[in-house]
Amino acid sequence: MSYNIFLSSKAEKQYKSLDPHIGSKIKHKLNTLKQNPDKGFNLTGKYTGLKYVKITYKGIGYRVVYDVSDKSKEVLVVFLGTRENFYKELRRYLG
């Protein structure tokens, strides 16, 4: 069964500010999560329960953080950004 993908308002704003080429790579990665949302890596510490996937474009690493709800078959993207300062930005956004 396929999962539905949703972007939080912050993630949507971040997505729209990206270069269209990396945006299309992220979109492709999100489409793969529709069938297998457990494919990503688990975050640890205070972000346990969230997952992330890695994307690289022109030597720059990006991370897409998401939460999976198996009950409602939904994937909520809560944050996306470059790997540089990733946890600093994530902490600022998620607290």
Chain-centroid distance, C-alpha 79: 6
The correct CATH number of 4-94 out of 3.30.479.10, 3.40.50.10540, 3.20.190.10, 3.30.2310.20 is 3.30.2310.20
Domain ranges of the chain: 4-94
pTM of the model: 0.89
Q: What is the pLDDT of residues 22-73, one digit of tens each?
A: 999 999 999 999 999 998 999 988 889 999 999 999 999 999 999 999 999 9
pLDDT at residue 76, rounded to an integer: 95
